[in-house]
Amino acid sequence: MSTKRPTCRHCRQSMDAGWIADRGHGNSVAEAKWIEGEPRHQRWLGIDWGLTTKGTKQLEVTVWRCPQCGLLESYAL
């Protein structure tokens, strides 16, 4: 995560760092990622097997929350 703490643009409070859980297969928890480009479906024999991220740029997402007003700001770093 970034070490520089942003300031809330609504109430000017220093924001707290955090992350958003991404639930996957078997309810496993992973960190959300920013994926470059449009979503691409993976198909085999005409069956949609979900989305693929193969060959795409991926960045971890840091989420900052204002403790006063609850504003969330997300950054892909």
- Write down the pTM of the prediction: 0.69
Domain assignment present for residue 44? The answer is: no
**Angstrom distance (rounded) from CA 75 to CA 5:** 12
The whole-angstrom distance between residue 75's C-alpha and the CA centroid of its chain comes to 8
Contact status, residue 47 vs residue 18, Cβ threshold 8 Å = no
Give me the number of domains the chain comprises. 1
Q: Which tens digit of pLDDT belongs to each residue from 11-35?
A: 999 999 999 888 877 888 888 888 8
53 in Cβ contact with 74 (< 8 Å): no
Asked, for residue 43, whether it belongs to a domain, the answer is no
Domain assignment present for 42 = no
Q: Answer whether residue 30 is part of any domain.
A: yes
Q: Identify the bridge partners of residue 52 per DSSP, sorted by sequence position.
A: 40
pLDDT in tens, 34-64: 888 888 888 888 888 887 888 899 899 999 9
pLDDT(1) > 60 = no
The label of the residue with tokens 């950054």 reads 75
What residue numbers bound the domain in which 24 lies?
1-36+50-77
